[in-house]
Homo-oligomer: A and B are copies of this chain.
Amino acid sequence: MTKTINYNLPIKLITQKDLISANCLNVSELLSVVENAFKSYAAGDVIFPEKMSVIFDSVSQNRINSLPAGIKSQNVFGVKWVSVFPENPQKNNVPNLSAVILLSSLSTGYPFAIMEGSFCSNLRTALVGSLAAKYFAKVDSTKIGFIGAGELAKTHFLVMKELFPKINTCKVSSRTTNSEKKFVSQLSRKYPDVKFIACNSDYEQAVSDADIIVTAISGQEKILQPSWIKKGAFYCHVAGLEDDFGVALKADKIVCDNWDMVKHRTQTISQMYKLNLLSDNDIYADLDEIILKKKKGRENDSEFIYFNSVGLSFIDIALANWMYKCVLDKGLYTDFSFKSNSMFDII
């Protein structure tokens, strides 16, 4: 029997608009996708190769990262291709970050979807930080403070507010007052019950009263100081080296998405580890241990808890695959065929 080989390479293209229209901003569902991804990881269901990171220029820190991961039981293996060019807003009038996610089937190896990736990427970071907050921030948190006012900071607000509906005050500080203003104007429209305060680059003002502190700022300055942090606060460290070493030293608990990965990178507590200012014993838990109830979350109202996220690409892929199913379900995508036959049939 002669089989006919099908040379088609059809791929579903998914825009940010498709993702929003398909209700991919459903925070409670997203959080359960993230929790399940951590459980898959703990159960050995995740394929998690080394990431590639190429820094093109040590001064600008312009870089492109390639973050592959797969989830066996979901029959998916994909990659997030993400660029971070910190000078972009100033030099090129485009955001510092761009991302594209490609998903391939584990049955055929074929790519089946290409998705705008900054939506998923920013959400992943905010969801993981907020999941940590769910276990480690005070349940009646009302005040949130931001250092950094970009897309990532705004996305954190979006998710945190869903988990902590009592949040009524949001202070924001940034290098430029313009981005603070944009943060406030975009979010105050959507959240009339919250008082948004732009702090005119006064970082201390933004966080000193906060139950939840988020630092999502590029650059390598140690901005956040231990004296600014109030008793019982939860701190979500998102970027690189934006806090004084004293902050982690002050913490009652340090929690990571994955300490084994964090310690080999260049974030604040990674550097402290390399300088012997922190050891493995100083890390209370990884987030999967909390989700699986192997360890407790917050134990009293006075603990100051430090959360550090390095970014786990299998969570991006789990989220992207869930988003793919959402857009598929609602028909919100563009079919595109990169190839329809053998080139030897047409040349």
Taking the closest CB of chain B, its distance from the CB of A30, in whole angstroms, is 14
Is A294's CB within 8 Å of the partner chain B? no
User: B-facing mask of A303-347, CB < 8 A → 1, else 0?
Assistant: 000000000000000000000000000000010111110111111
Within 8 A of B (CB), among A1-55: 2-9, 11, 13-17, 20, 25, 47, 49-50, 52, 54
Is A165's CB within 8 Å of the partner chain B? no
| A63 neighbours in B (Cβ, 8 Å) | 109
Is A156's CB within 8 Å of the partner chain B? no
Is A58's CB within 8 Å of the partner chain B? no
Contact B343–A16 (Cβ < 8 Å): yes
Is A73's CB within 8 Å of the partner chain B? no
| A334 neighbours in B (Cβ, 8 Å) | 336
Contact A68–B66 (Cβ < 8 Å): yes
With beta carbons under 8 angstroms apart, the residue of B49, B93, B109, B187 that contacts A98 is: B109
Contact B108–A344 (Cβ < 8 Å): no
Assuming the contacts A5-B95, A344-B154, A344-B186, asked whether A108 and B88 have C-beta atoms less than 8 A apart, the reply is yes
Assuming the contacts A5-B93, A104-B64, A336-B334, asked whether A83 and B109 have C-beta atoms less than 8 A apart, the reply is yes
| A7 neighbours in B (Cβ, 8 Å) | 94-95
Is A293's CB within 8 Å of the partner chain B? no
Most chain B CB within a 10 A radius of its CB, from A4, A89, A108: A108
Taking the closest CB of chain B, its distance from the CB of A212, in whole angstroms, is 20
Contact B64–A66 (Cβ < 8 Å): no
Taking the closest CB of chain B, its distance from the CB of A201, in whole angstroms, is 16
CA–CA, A20 and B52, complex, Å: 32
With beta carbons under 8 angstroms apart, the residue of B52, B337, B344 that contacts A15 is: B337
With beta carbons under 8 angstroms apart, the residue of B64, B66, B344 that contacts A52 is: B66
Is A62's CB within 8 Å of the partner chain B? yes
Q: Which residue of B lies closest to A342 (CB)?
A: B151
Within 8 A of B (CB), among A167-182: 178
Is A114's CB within 8 Å of the partner chain B? yes
Contact A111–B100 (Cβ < 8 Å): yes
Is A107's CB within 8 Å of the partner chain B? yes
With beta carbons under 8 angstroms apart, the residue of B84, B187, B345 that contacts A109 is: B84
Contact A346–B52 (Cβ < 8 Å): no
| A187 neighbours in B (Cβ, 8 Å) | 344
Contact A338–B100 (Cβ < 8 Å): yes
Taking the closest CB of chain B, its distance from the CB of A85, in whole angstroms, is 4
Q: Can you pick out 7 interface pairs between chain A and chain B where the beta carbons lie within 8 Å of each other?
A: A3-B93, A5-B95, A15-B337, A17-B339, A17-B346, A56-B77, A88-B108
Question: 5 tightest CB-CB pairs across the interface, nearest first?
Answer: A83-B109, A116-B338, A85-B109, A186-B344, A16-B339
